[in-house]
Amino acid sequence: MHEKIYMKRPVVEIDGDEMARVMWSLVKELLLEPYVDLKTEYYDLGLRHRDETDDRVTAEAANAIKRIGIGVKCATITPNAERVKEYGLKNEWPSPNATIRKVLGGTIFRKPILLRNVIPAVRSWKKPIVIARHAFGDIYDGEGLEFGQSGYVELSFKSGTSVNSVRKLVTGPGIAEVKVNSLSSIEEFARSCFNYALDERMDLWFAAKDTISKVYDAKFKQIFGEIYEKSYAQKFRAAGITYSYFLIDDALSRVVRSEGGFVWAAKNYDGDILSDLISSGFGSLALMTSELYSPDGFKEFEAAHGTVQRHYYAYLKGEPVHTNPIATIFAWTGALRARGRADDTPQLSMFSDTLEWAVKKTVEADGVMTKDVASMSAIPPSHVATLQEFLTRVQENLELALGRGEQK
């Protein structure tokens, strides 16, 4: 009997729905529980249980992350009218991710998982490019106006009796839009980005268009610059990383010539677009993790993809499924690595590295891939694996790396 790797404190484990839930339990059973003395505080956010608890379980899970510091989450169904019918729900409950983010605040970092045989669309990209999107304000919180003739569009701020306004003559008919943001939200965003870059030892970019947007974007630039100088410049120098501000068009031309390896922070709308562009540039949704960092240092890790419904119905019919568990595995390794660092238990962080190595070896060296990866692979797969087969091979490689291969 080999001893299991010690875990000092638990992580919050948030279970979910459909195929993602199936992968969740397989990953635990095959790749975690045999090797790690896994301590978790478990919350079942499967749709039925959310419904039974009138969605209280979601807020409880979020608050548990505040208490324990680190969480790992399985994809969950965000109900729509169809799902209300399918599950006979009492209510069209809100997106769990939105609820959790409301409790924790913070920023989502989308990080691609690079495999040697999945060549990025941009040849020079050798390292991950992480997109940090400020999920607050901008046009997502905007108002629009259409008008039928020439006139003045006025933007005014009122509080009590004081009024502050600007106006602009428009030769109509025309349209106008207003967007808003809050300085405290921008400050939190900046701090989350600086903390993430430090944790990951990656350079940080922030890009906007302050030369044109002289109030709105300029304020973002100013806040990032001030917080950096005051609280992070020294830590960045010590870590050997840099913070740079770029005009967003300059950043775009730089990114296609870069080799990657940095965090790119963007305003809400820019981040919406960039995250889709960068993720498809690196491969697929199944090779992408999503990490929520709160300004207070709480962290939640998950796969970026959803519950993979189509595969789940095939699975229920007993058909072989080729769902890719890599992002689920990396959500767990992210959480366990963070736990290991926070608790000063390096064996736990090292286990995460080893498990990630086993995944990469399975695909890159053994040529064993799920269908989605096989279809993008630059080398022909030696075997197109089902979910089970893939996990079994990862387990074999993990045992090998842990020096337990001979046990089999």
Whole-number Å distance between alpha carbons of 182 and 187:
9
Q: 364 contacts which partner out of Mg ion, ligand NAP, none, CB within 5 to 8 A by kind?
A: none
Q: Is the peptide bond before 173 cis (omega within 30 degrees of 0)?
A: yes
**Subset of residues 256 to 285 that bind Mg ion, contact rule: CB under 5 A:** 272, 276
C-beta of 273: minimal distance to Mg ion in Å? Answer: 6
272 binds, among Mg ion, ligand NAP, none (CB under 5 to 8 A by kind): Mg ion
Q: Least distance in Å: CB of 393 to Mg ion?
A: 33
Smallest separation, CB 350 to Mg ion (Å) = 35
Q: What is the C-alpha to C-alpha distance for residues 386 and 381, in angstroms, rounded to an integer?
A: 13
- Which distant-in-sequence residues (6+ apart) come within 8 Å of 349 by Cβ? 336, 337, 340, 341
Number of H helices, E strands in the chain: 15, 16
Which residue in this structure is represented by tokens 């790690």? 36
CB of 275 to Mg ion, least distance (A): 6
Task: Yes or no: say if 197 and 231 are a contact pair by the CB < 8 Å rule.
Answer: no
Q: Of 74-82, 117-125, 162-170, 185-193, which segment contacts ligand NAP by CB under 6 A? A: 74-82
Nearer to ligand NAP by Cβ, of 10 and 94: the residue is 94
Task: Please report, as residue ranges, which positions from 365 to 394 form the binding site for ligand NAP (by CB under 6 A).
Answer: 372
End-to-end CA distance of the chain: 12
Asked if 323 touches ligand NAP (CB under 6 A), the answer is yes
Shortest separation between residue 306's beta carbon and ligand NAP, angstroms: 2
| Shortest distance (Å) from residue 301 CB to ligand NAP | 11
Query: In Å, how far are 31, 55, 206, 327 from 359, measured between CA atoms?
Result: 11, 35, 32, 10
When asked if residue 306 is in the footprint of ligand NAP (CB under 6 A), the reply is: yes
What is the rounded distance in angstroms from the CA atom of residue 202 to the CA atom of residue 196? Answer: 8
Q: What residue type is assigned to position 260 of the chain?
A: G
Interface with ligand NAP includes 192 (CB under 6 A)? no
Binder among 53, 63, 78, 242 for ligand NAP (CB under 6 A): 78
CB closer to ligand NAP, 205 vs 330: 330
List the one residue out of 193, 198, 200 whose CA is nearest residue 220: 193
Secondary structure of residue 36 in the 3-state scheme: strand
- Kindly state the helix (H) or strand (E) to which residue 42 belongs, with its residue range: strand 40-44
User: Shortest distance, CB of residue 350 to ligand NAP, whole angstroms?
Assistant: 26
Q: Report CA Rg, the chain.
A: 23
Any contact of residue 48 with ligand NAP (CB under 6 A)?
no
User: Which of 8, 310, 383, 404 forms a contact with ligand NAP (CB under 6 A)?
Assistant: 310
Nearer Cβ to ligand NAP (97/279): 97
* CB-side neighbour CA atoms (13 Å) of 319: 11
Burial class (CB in 10 A: 0-12, 13-18, 19+), 76: buried
Nearer to ligand NAP, 242 or 309 (CB): 309
Using CB distances below 5 to 8 A depending on partner kind, what does residue 294 bind out of ligand NAP, Mg ion, none?
none
Residue 95 or 347: the one with the smaller Cβ distance to ligand NAP is: 95
Residue 307 binds which one of ligand NAP, Mg ion, none, with CB within 5 to 8 A depending on kind? ligand NAP
Rounded-to-integer distance, Cα 339 and Cα 352, Å: 10
Q: Give residues with Cβ within 8 angstroms of 156, minimum separation 6.
A: 163, 164, 165, 166
Q: How far is the CB of 177 from Mg ion (least distance, A)?
A: 19
When the beta carbons of 90 and 214 are compared against ligand NAP, the nearer one is: 90
Q: Does 76 bind ligand NAP (CB under 6 A)?
A: yes
- The site partner of 29 among ligand NAP, Mg ion, none (C-beta below 5 to 8 Å per kind) is none
Choose among Mg ion, ligand NAP, none what residue 306 binds, the Cβ cut-off being 5 to 8 Å by kind. ligand NAP
**What is the full DSSP assignment across 186-215?**
HHHHHHHHHHHHHHHT-EEEEEE-TTTSTT
Task: Please say which residue, 258 or 328, places its beta carbon nearer to ligand NAP.
Answer: 328
Letter for the amino acid at 84? V
Chain contacts with ligand NAP (rule: CB under 6 A): 75-78, 97, 285-286, 302, 305-310, 323-324, 372
